[in-house]
Amino acid sequence: MDPASGAFEERSHGEVKPLWTPSDEQIEKSQMTLFRRWCAEKFGVDLPDHDAFHQWSITERGSFWSAVWDYCGVKGDKGARDLIDGDDMMKARFFPDATLNFAENLLSQTGADAALIFRGEDKVSYRWNWDDLAAMVSRLQQAYRAMGLEKGDRIAAMMPNMPETIALMLAAASMGVIWSSCSPDFGERGVLDRFGQIEPKLFIVCDGYWYNGKLQDVAAKVRAVEPELGAPVLVIPYTGDADGLAASLADGRTLAQFIAPYPAEAVEFTPLPFNHPLYILFSSGTTGVPKCIVHSAGGTLLQHLKEQRFHLDLHAGERLFYFTTCGWMMWNWLVSGLASGATLCLFDGSPFAPSGEILWDYAADERFAVFGTSAKYIDAVRKSGIEPIKTHDLKSLRAVTSTGSPLSPEGFSFIYEAAKPDVQLASISGGTDIVSCFVLGNPVKPVWRGEIQGPGLGLAVDVWDDEGKPVRGEKGELVCAKAFPCMPVGFWNDKDDAKYKAAYFERFDNVWCHGDFAEWTKHGGLIIHGRSDATLNPGGVRIGTAEIYNQVEQLEEVAESICIGQDWEDDVRVILFVRLQPGVTLDADLDKKIKTKIRTGASPRHVPAKIIQVADIPRTKSGKIVELAVREVVHGRPVKNKEALANPEALDLYAGLEPLKT
């Protein structure tokens, strides 16, 4: 099949080819192309192709972001100035005179068409139209005001990814109240470590949730957290006993009680400055109490509009899905799809309950245009033997996105071979720090196996060596050399921005250092090799952990793996831990097979000094493996903020292992 038609073709006569190439018609009709030509005409500049467009977007950042505002029809007053102090990363301000309201821009449609579609595993399903959503936002807004919430106050929510959560957030944003959320599987300490720092005026919880087919009770946790937070509790019905939970609290009420006095009216939107805080997100690391990262309404809106309209080619009425929880920034990203008029498809629970088909069933039933998920999910589906291409009608699906960790080359191939051959597979990477992406998909460029398509418009992304010089053809630090609108407003309670500066600007003066180990490809794409702080340095040679995972996890015997550097005899040696498939044991033959695979697929330098079988691998609640936490345990050092982990008990498996003593 011809790759120019969007068909899968990986190799032909020994020559490597793209997995997917957009057709001429797809390129011509894409919003990326239409926007490029609009900018060329509006500003009187020559922008013959995408590369020229990207260069202009970072050279003329003020004009570019002003164009995003105008082209996307942002509701608000843009003001006279688009950028001040643009050469100073810490002082730069986009649209300093502007006012807007985030919620007004997301409540972009009216009528009976679906706005939100929800499935909670196979237990619960329902949908809201645009008028349903606006009505709930109106009633919640009135209730918030009646309880005395004001601009700048905080709401904290421990909620599933369900329609009510989005309405609760939009009602807060409509008034300038700051929203912060986590998923209901967080433990008591994890909730307090996050929300205790921001002193919420209202704590919102569900009455329980479903996971892996089982009802999960939250009552004891909520009762323990309530007095510590010192805020009234609003209980949202999901599993059936909101009344009982609310009645057991010192200051609890149900959603029905909360909104009962208030009929739906037109939602009122408070005009707010561009940099008014919208969200507080939390770092998920295990090195200390989570950082409270404050994001602005204007920066979040413009960045998400740019990514979704242009890099994802999202249109009004399309079905947008992302498998995420409310404790991961991809939830915040997903919600912004409303600003483009998309219908959001929400899911809460295990993606393998009652079977691994559940998300593909959802995609087929609701005609997803975009299926967003994590690299770990794609790998798990690949190893499960599921092949949606044979079992599901995915004709509406045109894009698959993956993030959370680097997507392996095998993951790329799997999507095209076993899911759908004519989709744009967009591996994307950014983070909680910017509530968006630095590098992501591009509908007018080919998809190459194992590569992210390119940098985001308006972002001066580069790869630098230790001396702060740009490098090509070798690995280095992922940086952004110029200010951009979705940089955090700052960290909560961070005097003089000391922690903020230390987090991103300590490595290189006046340049954002993101903490990813990256590499440009010959196609102008990027490969993320893992986190810089988890990079291995045996013999002084920097090795990205993803380079090892890409080899090891090709083996059918290996379910997943985690790799660290162990301090050893005045050097560092590579230790690989493997969780094997059921019934498989790490013996001498498998040890040799793994090392041979790494040696031939990567290099002799990548071969671990030791391979150790473990029963489980610790990960965050968004599915990221935690190399740093394992490294701390191996070295006998304490791990802080274990509540960030989905399975903290797994860390105990790495303490005092005899093979690590020789």
5-9, 303-307, 313-317, 400-404: which has the minimum mean pLDDT?
5-9
Residue 364 above 90 pLDDT?
A: yes
Antiparallel, parallel or unpaired: β 343-348 and 114-120: parallel
Give residue 602's pLDDT band: very low, low, confident or very high (50, 70, 90): confident
Give residue 284's pLDDT band: very low, low, confident or very high (50, 70, 90): low
Please give the distance of CA 581 from its chain centroid, rounded to a whole number: 28
d(CA 449, CA 407): 10
Predicted local distance difference test score (pLDDT) of residue 288:
66
Predicted local distance difference test score (pLDDT) of residue 540:
67
**H/E run at residue 190:** helix 188-198
**H/E run at residue 94:** strand 93-94
d(CA 419, CA 326): 27
d(CA 206, CA 456): 36
Burial, 111: exposed, middle or buried (Cβ in 10 Å; 0-12, 13-18, 19+)?
Answer: exposed
What is the tens place of the pLDDT at every residue in 492-513?
999 999 999 999 999 999 999 9
Enumerate the domain spans of the chain: 124-273, 535-661
- Higher pLDDT among residues 636 and 443, named by residue: 443
d(CA 367, CA 369): 6
- Higher pLDDT among residues 604 and 1, named by residue: 604
d(CA 343, CA 330): 16
Contact by Cβ (8 Å): 326, 183: yes
Residue 351 preceded by cis peptide, ω within 30: no
Mean pLDDT of 579-596: 95
Give residue 536's pLDDT band: very low, low, confident or very high (50, 70, 90): confident
d(CA 278, CA 153): 11
**H/E run at residue 259:** helix 255-259
282-296, 318-332, 333-347, 461-475: which has the minimum mean pLDDT?
282-296
- DSSP letter (8 states) at residue 296: E
Give residue 116's pLDDT band: very low, low, confident or very high (50, 70, 90): very high
What is the tens place of the pLDDT at every residue in 421-436?
999 999 999 999 999 9
| Domain 124-273, classified CATH 1.10.3720.10, yes or no | no
Contact by Cβ (8 Å): 213, 239: no
Predicted local distance difference test score (pLDDT) of residue 83:
98
Mean pLDDT of 525-540: 83
Residue 593 above 70 pLDDT?
A: yes
Mean pLDDT of 325-354: 97
E-only strand ranges, 509-550: 512-520, 526-531
Is residue 635 helix, strand or coil? coil
Is residue 344 helix, strand or coil? strand
Mean pLDDT of 196-207: 97
Residue 599 above 50 pLDDT?
A: yes
Instruction: Return the CATH class of domain 535-661.
Output: alpha beta
**Nearest in space to 450 (alpha carbons), one of 356, 360, 544:** 544
Residue 326 above 70 pLDDT?
A: yes
**Nearest in space to 203 (alpha carbons), one of 233, 179, 180:** 233
Residue type, 447: V
Residue 150 above 80 pLDDT?
A: yes
Both tokens of 329, joined, read 């920034």
Output the pTM of the full model.
Answer: 0.89
d(CA 17, CA 203): 52
d(CA 308, CA 320): 10
DSSP assignment string, 413-431? HHIIIII-TT-EEEE-EEE
What is the tens place of the pLDDT at every residue in 1-27?
333 334 444 433 344 899 999 999 999
d(CA 624, CA 531): 11
- Higher pLDDT among residues 1 and 561, named by residue: 561
Q: Please provide residue 274's backbone torsions phi and psi, each rounded to the nearest 5 degrees.
A: -55, -40
Neighbours of 52 (CB within 10 A): 14
User: Average per-residue pLDDT in the chain?
Assistant: 93
Percent pLDDT > 70 in the chain is 97
Residue 537 above 90 pLDDT?
A: no
